[in-house]
């Protein structure tokens, strides 16, 4: 087991008022669906000034919710464009020679590690995890090769889930169509 402070630097995200204008996406916890995929950004942009550039997500960064009811992690991908996470998140700037951010996010999103993170949270209505607790948080650290194998398996499972959901939606549409045909007597049994 390895502490996060041995493989990464950790800082808070940026607190800034969001708007419909701006050159950078501003992530809040509400932008993530149940599968932890970022969603619509119609009114969540900011303009970056010189001092704000340290908050721009970089390759191999992971964000982790530090405040709120929903604890989760997300691995940044450059194809997502310029992104700054809100102050509800910690930015975990992982050392790519030691850990793959996709592996780190997967570990932090595991049921066991989420539970451990929730236990660290304090506060009666809004849970908050202290930065030192994030820095001291222990995770398993296999070789980069083993991490890649874990990522590959998870990617295959995600792809299978997406295909299953697509098939389910098509079956629902087929059911609606058949029901409509049966009701209007255009189809005989």
The per-residue pLDDT for range 105-115, each reduced to its tens digit, is: 999 999 999 99
Q: What is the mean pLDDT of residues 34-47?
A: 79
Across the chain, mean pLDDT equals: 90
**pLDDT (average), residues 111-130:** 86
* Domain 2-141 coded CATH 3.90.220.20: yes
Give the confidence band of 61 by pLDDT, cuts at 50, 70, 90.
Answer: very high
Please tell me the predicted confidence (pLDDT) of residue 127.
81
Q: Are 1 and 141 in contact (CB under 8 A)?
A: yes
Tell me which residue has tokens 């509400």.
30
Rounded to an integer, what distance in angstroms lies between the CA atom of residue 80 and that of residue 73? Answer: 16
| Ordered alpha helix ranges (H), the chain | 101-108, 111-120, 131-136, 144-183
| Domains of the chain by residue range | 2-141, 142-189
């Amino acid at each position: 087991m390895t502490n996060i402070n041995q493989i990464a630097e950790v800082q808070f995200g940026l607190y800034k008022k969001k708007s419909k204008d701006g050159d950078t996406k501003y992530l809040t916890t509400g932008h993530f669906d149940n599968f932890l995929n970022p969603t619509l950004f119609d009114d969540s942009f900011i303009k970056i000034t010189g001092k704000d550039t340290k908050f721009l997500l970089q390759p191999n960064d992971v964000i982790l919710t530090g405040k709120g009811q929903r604890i989760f992690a997300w691995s940044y991908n450059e194809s997502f464009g310029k992104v700054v996470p809100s102050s509800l998140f910690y930015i975990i700037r992982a050392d790519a020679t030691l850990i793959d951010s996709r592996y780190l996010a997967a570990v932090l999103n595991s049921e066991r590690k989420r539970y451990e993170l929730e236990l660290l949270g304090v506060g009666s209505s809004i849970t908050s995890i202290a930065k030192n607790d994030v820095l001291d948080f222990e995770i398993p650290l296999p070789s980069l090769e083993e991490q890649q194998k874990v990522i590959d398996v998870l990617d295959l499972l995600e792809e299978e889930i997406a295909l299953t959901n697509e098939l389910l939606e098509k079956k629902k549409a087929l059911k609606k169509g058949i029901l409509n045909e049966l009701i209007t007597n255009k189809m005989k049994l």
